[in-house]
Structure 1
Amino acid sequence: MKALDHRAGTALIWVLLLTMPYWMNAMGGYTELAARVIVLGLAAMALNFLLGFTGVLSFGHAAYFGLGAYGAAMVLKFWAPSTPLAILMGVLTGTLAAAIIGALIAKLRGVYFAMVTIAFGQVFYFIAFRWNSVTGGDDGLTGWHRQPLDLGFTTIDILGNDKAFYYMALVFFAGAVGIMAWLLRSPLGRTLIAIRENERRARFLGIPVERHIWLSFVISGAFASLAGALYALLSNFTDPRSLHWTLSGNFVIMAVLGGMRSFWGPLVGAAIFVVLQDYVSSHTENWMSVIGLFFVLVVSFFPRGVLGMIKRKVQA
């Protein structure tokens, strides 16, 4: 029965994602907002791979998100007018940084791990902020834009067509989510969950805990950098704020808000966060207060997040 409910819930999520540009517009939203939901949802799910399924908290994942954004933008501005190449280089840039930093901090735990991830993230932020000649500094990296996709037999214009870009981003999202789900069902995923549940027992069983935490960190950083590359292409712009620790905090809020121990929870949390931010910020500058209050209420009364609450209501 639970397996049937899970399949039905997954099917419903994909139907909503496939049709989002249409019902979002009908509800007063817009296609770019729908694209932001899936891109930031991917970033939150990437963080949740480390937080929810490995039990390790990072407050510096905006570093890999931002490096993916800058990597993609710099390819288009300085190297070649190719959207696939830009995405590839953005992912490689963020993944390489995650691999190096993860190797340095894999032995740390708890608040020490979280604080060091913030520190490394802020290093990248200040480099982007100060290196004006390359990154554009506080003004951001401008003078570039995403390019049409040349598939050989046809060309897809993702520059002037928001729906085309949304579905391109959805293809990358689907691929990333499929790989993530496969990894979590594999022996690696089961080992990560074992580390989350009881690290000492996992170590007694002979599991190389630090190596698996490093792997989880690198995989999580790779997905975050993919989200960052797509986010830069969405707005044809990136700036140092895409590397700032406050964005990492937003990813944590999205994961916890939706339900950090469920696979789809961070996507639900990201959808609530992005839509609420867009709506409330159009009415008041104090939009973070509203989101903060909503977050406190959810955590206080529904510790398993919004998706956990929905599942409990359905099962009841």
Structure 2
Amino acid sequence: MPYWMGYVGGYTDLATRVLVMGLAAMSVNFLLGFTGVLSFGHAAYFGLGAYGAGLALKYLVPSTPAAMLVGILVGTAAAALVGLLIVKLRGIYFAMVTIAIGQIFYFIAFRWHSVTGGDDGLTGFTRQPIDLGFTRIDIMTHDKAYYYLVLVVFAVAVGAMALLLRSPFGRTLLAIRENERRARFLGIPVDRHIWIAFVISCFFVSIAGTLYALLSNFTDPRSLHWTLSGNFVIMAVLGGMRSFWGPLVGAAIFVVLQDYVSSHTQNWMFFIGIFFVCIVLFFPRGVLGFLRRK
């Protein structure tokens, strides 16, 4: 993509952002599309991954892989603790509690100005070159090098996600999605499987969060806000909620459309909202579902 994005009016950072948001949307779909559990709080773990990576680079160690590891651990650990508290909830109650808990993290980041930078955001860190011993990858100044790093991380994460969904564990999640009561009668520990699926989903969205922070060497409380979680859900529905690759297609459409429309008008959310309503009304299975049916 870095080589042909310019011909369609795009740029390398836009291609990188498509991959990052695509991974986040696919992680939400892991829980929503394949387990049947709706979360509106995934932005919290996306943002925790971003802040964890940024704070690690700024205060702990000048290493990109180490910063990413810290961000992933912070987001996943928080998800594991939160999941234990909400795993017995279902439906709208689960969704609303995830929003409430996510907003707690948002207000902590917003108010804790001395550490997070508050509303001004976290600055003062820069992604560092990666030393592999036999070669050195300069992702600090080369946007294309960072794009390919994101592409490799995306490929590994998506490959792991696909293996999980093809495993007996993934088939169990599908059984829970289709009929939770019948799954309980079969002896499946439903609450435990939903907790594990929630943690795995947040693990992947934390990876996306670390990549997002390193993309622009900046993050702010908006990366924790529930509206970003809503965007992830919109991307999943837009591309095809129960399709593995649908959220990536939806993320590409959403991110590119947002970038194009926002460059022409401040009311870009109105046009994206109209577009989303049309997709839901006329293509209920999403763009990828429509193309496959055709």
- TM-score (norm: length of structure 2): 0.99
Offset of residue 80 of structure 1: 0.6
Aligned to 2:9: 28
Offset of residue 22 of structure 1: 1.4
Offset of residue 24 of structure 1: 1.2
Aligned to 1:64: 45
Are 1:236 and 2:217 an aligned pair? yes
Residue from 107, 111, 117 that aligns with 2:98: 117
Q: Structure 2: which amino acid aligns with 1:209?
A: V
Aligned to 2:79: 98
Residue from 86, 92, 115 that aligns with 1:134: 115
2: CA distance, partners of 1:267 / 1:22: 20
Are 1:186 and 2:170 an aligned pair? no
Per-residue Cα deviation, 1:85-139 (whole angstroms, up to 9, x for no partner)? 0111111000001100011101000000000000000000000000011101000
Q: Structure 1: which amino acid aligns with 2:129?
A: P
Offset of residue 306 of structure 1: 0.3
Gaps of 5+ in 1: 1-19
2: CA distance, partners of 1:216 / 1:154: 37
Residue 21 of structure 1 aligns to a residue whose secondary structure is coil
2: CA distance, partners of 1:96 / 1:278: 33
Residue from 264, 286, 300 that aligns with 2:281: 300
Aligned to 1:76: 57
1: CA distance, partners of 2:108 / 2:221: 9
2: CA distance, partners of 1:291 / 1:193: 31
Q: Structure 1: which amino acid aligns with 2:20?
A: V
Aligned to 2:176: 195
Residue 164 of structure 1 aligns to a residue whose secondary structure is helix
Q: Structure 2: which amino acid aligns with 1:127?
A: I
- TM-score (norm: length of structure 1): 0.93
2: CA distance, partners of 1:147 / 1:218: 28
RMSD over aligned Cα atoms: 0.5
Q: Structure 2: which amino acid aligns with 1:167?
A: Y
2: CA distance, partners of 1:195 / 1:104: 20
Offset of residue 23 of structure 1: 1.7
Aligned to 1:15: none
Are 1:176 and 2:151 an aligned pair? no
Residue 207 of structure 1 aligns to a residue whose secondary structure is coil
Offset of residue 27 of structure 1: 1.1
Moved more, 151-160 or 267-276: 151-160
Q: Structure 2: which amino acid aligns with 1:228?
A: G
Per-residue Cα deviation, 1:9-42 (whole angstroms, up to 9, x for no partner)? xxxxxxxxxxx11121221100000000000000
Residue 218 of structure 2 aligns to a residue whose secondary structure is coil
Are 1:167 and 2:148 an aligned pair? yes
Aligned to 1:5: none
Residue 81 of structure 1 aligns to a residue whose secondary structure is coil
Residue 238 of structure 1 aligns to a residue whose secondary structure is coil
Offset of residue 150 of structure 1: 0.7
Percent of aligned positions that are identical: 79
